[in-house]
Structure 1
Amino acid sequence: MYPHFQDAELENWHDFEVESRREIFALLRGIGEKNQLIRMLIQGEADVCVTSILEVDDASNIVYLDCSIDQEQNKRILASRRLSFETTLDKVRILFAADQIEATTFEGNPAFKIPFPATLIRLQRREYYRIATPVTNPVRVQIQLPAELGGPTTFPLADISCGGIAILDNKMILGDAIGKNYADCRIDLPEIGQVTTALQVRNSLDLTLLNNKTNRRLGCEFVNIPRGALSAVQRFITRLERERNARIAGLS
């Protein structure tokens, strides 16, 4: 759907397709209000034009865009059967596409207009969405360990992000697990459901508490997590953020 963005850099990003009309409108309006520059790519060509959003007309299903000062480039853009757009908003990459574009005017100046996109992609770096999981009612993950290590074992989570989880291995069951992969790990997300994914342990941190007990925190990355499972993780993170914001508002 977004052919121009299959570059190596995307391996370090996780994509989320936004389908909520209200959310798409808010994102596009924010891009326009902040005068964010947008890369417009013509499908099938290495032709890039920089544009910006002039107006998002929700009632008419139209997004107005600035046009190029290069008239030949404008002709190529209007002749294109598909365009891809890329920009950023608050450190988040936003991608969307259009199957048609027309010449028009906006406030008396030449402009383009495209249909309001039905979906867009929001690409978020992993670390931006890490959020602590509840302590009183911890989220848990079951890791399929070999029989000699006790078989399937459940660990509480310390936090969760769009790229992975941090688990607490206070009984040191996993040992020196950095770099190890664990298949078919099952994470129970309260009110969302269970998701299954492979995990790779990427880092380990031992913390000595005041009572001289040691806590071990293992940072684990999702490996080839199914799209549906990733969407469930995103919904859970959104719910945690909503609850946290409500608590903060209640204390203020």
Structure 2
Amino acid sequence: MANQDEIDDDSPYRVRSRREIISLLTSMMEKNQLLSLMIKGGSESVITSILEVDADEDAITLDAAPSAMLNESIVSSKQIDFEAIYNSIRITFAVEGARQIEYQGRPALQVDIPESLVRLQRREFFRIPTPIAKPLRCTFRITQSDGSFVTVVTMLNNISAGGVGITDEKKLLSTTPGVIYEDCQLELGDNTLVSVKLQVRDCKEFKMTNGKIVNRFGCQFIDIPRTVLAAIQRFITKLEREQNAKASGMM
């Protein structure tokens, strides 16, 4: 049996300790912490709370959605995502499927205790805007069905240790939440390039000052290596210093 206190090397924020996960979920339950329950890649969501954490049954019992139709959609979903801000920490996890049950005489939902969850300090997922005077790019190398490659160059709007905001002026990228791009090159200034894997979290149309309509994406880093994350954190620190210096009149 694997050591349950180990944290997966490919994500410094991913918790795999069953004891720690149960303790955290129980604490959230005791403090009536609200969670966002999301299905269909986040296109449908509901606010819920934890009613019971049963380690013996490997189950979490949750408040049901307010409508029967939404409960049916949740139960029929193959993946359910959860997100909460608890004690200034962002908690996210996913489970496969849910069951409708009755708990203390009222409708409820039940899911398995997740095998892992991600825990991010606010500092770690706060996004800082990138310089307008010296625009940076995020380049996507996309494999086509025939094996050929297409390169899509986007502008980097902001960055955090958790992901990036980008602008796709030519509207070439898929806007579907959950789509993963395996081969992306991220500019970090000073001729520094890092390779990252990005997942689309959301997309909104945006009208620029010249009247052009573009797509703006929020993307999350997936399976980011520690060395790349360290480079991104150094870059964020550098940006903060530069912006603080400008604000104080030192630059």
Q: Report which of the two has the higher share of helix.
A: 1
TM-score (norm: length of structure 2): 0.50
In our comparison, the structure showing a higher alpha carbon Rg is: 1
TM-score (norm: length of structure 1): 0.49
